[in-house]
Structure 1
Amino acid sequence: MIEARDNADERIDKTTSSDISLGQMLEALAAAPDAPLVFVYGEKRAKPGYHVTEVKAGQFAALDCGGNPEAWDEIFVQLWDVDENAREHMPAGKFSKIIRKVADHVRLEPDARLTFEVSDGVKPMALYCASAPRWLDGIFEVALVARPSSCKPRDRWLAEEQIPTQPGCCAPTSGDACCGFRSPARP
């Protein structure tokens, strides 16, 4: 069973992105469980025979380059982009059923950030964040966008200041230097 966590305010949002959560994805897909679920990444559709090969949950704790502690939950869904036996795209309800089966054995936080790991079995896996499912001509389409790295203190500062990103701009937050964080052991 997917459970909400009461200590949500103890968790610090890892990014300022608008990634869809696992709960949001499942809620959207419940509207039409028989509709095909099509993932689009790198300007191409996943092949109709794609497999969900693994679902894993992680709790992470980190220190960003500004010395700020962070913690977050993340769900990783691994997609194997293959076309086997002239299959059709997986129905939304089947995807949801896979997630529910995993949730019977692994604690999945509904508000966890959702990351997709995608590979065709030949190329290395790439990490993607997902948009909300869009209803298009009888299918659910989920756009997967490559997950970039970023400077978290700079992202927070830009969000607070609501100013456009400038090349080479890296402002400190709360007096902490970003990208130049010095541990106590370093001069």
Structure 2
Amino acid sequence: MKTQELFNTLQAHQDKSLLFEYLPNAFVGANYHITEVKHVKIDSVDCGAGTDAWNETIIQLWESPKEIGKREYMTVFKALAILNKVGRMKPFDMDAEVKFEYSNATFNTAQLFVNDFEIRDNNLIVKLAIEKTDCKAKELCGIPEEKEVVTSDASCCSPSSGCC
């Protein structure tokens, strides 16, 4: 999700509570705070000597140990106010990919991308997902692309089926 898409989604649902699902049915606690917003410029060289550059917006979520047991989540309105204040101080690249940085006692620190969002009851649920590392120069490095394995009905392709 691009930063502009996040802002559009937040603006459309300001009356809702803002929840983050970092694994299926696992949510950042209601005691979370937005503790940092990073405007990151990536300037990279991959293993095949290919160069690339892009921007990312990384929003850090932190669960306050002083507020464990809190039941009310931050409102979308409040989160948007925080992000708007950040944008006045350091303007966002609205075309940058947005990620959320998060960890807890059982989930290692990760930068999670927005996979989807859902409106449930009076909540805007931002569904986060992990993006695995990958080789960007597979062809040059001699790494075959993974092919999808298609299974077929055994009766059709068994040696005695007559279809082969």
- How does the TM-score come out when normalised to structure 2? 0.76
Pairing of 1:1-187 with structure 2 (within 5 A):
20-43=1-24, 44-82=26-64, 84=67, 86-120=70-104, 124-154=108-138, 165-166=146-147
Secondary structure of the residue aligned to 1:125 is strand
Deviations 1:107-153 (A, max 9, x none): 31011011111023786422211124321222111111112111123
TM-fit CA distance, 1:82? 4.2
Total equivalences in the alignment: 140
Q: CA deviation at 1:154?
A: 3.7
Counterpart CA distance in 1 for 2:130 and 2:28 is: 14
What amino acid is the match of 1:46? V
Aligned AA (1:96): L
Give SS of 1:28's match: helix
Runs (5+) with no aligned partner, structure 1: 1-19, 156-163, 168-187
- What is the CA–CA distance in structure 2 between the aligned matches of 1:118 and 1:49, rounded to whole Å? 13
> What fraction of aligned residue pairs are identical, expressed as a percent?
29
2: CA distance, partners of 1:140 / 1:80:
18
SS at match of 1:101: helix
Shift of 1:87: 4.5
The aligned amino acid for 2:22 is Y
Contact 2:116–2:128 (CA under 8 A) maintained in structure 1: no
Q: Give the greater-gyration-radius structure (CA).
A: 2
Counterpart secondary structure, 1:30: helix
Quick one: distance in 2 between partners of 1:140 and 1:122? 24
Higher strand proportion, which one? Answer: 2
Q: SS at the partner of 1:79?
A: strand
Deviations 1:5-47 (A, max 9, x none): xxxxxxxxxxxxxxx0111011011112020111001230111
Q: Secondary structure at the match of 2:128?
A: strand
Root-mean-square deviation (CA, aligned residues, Å) is: 2.3
Unaligned runs of 5+ in 2: 140-144, 149-164
Amino acid at match of 2:55: D
Deviation at 1:94, TM superposition (A): 1.2
TM-score where L is the length of structure 1: 0.67
For 2:104 and 2:63, the matched residues in 1 are separated by 5
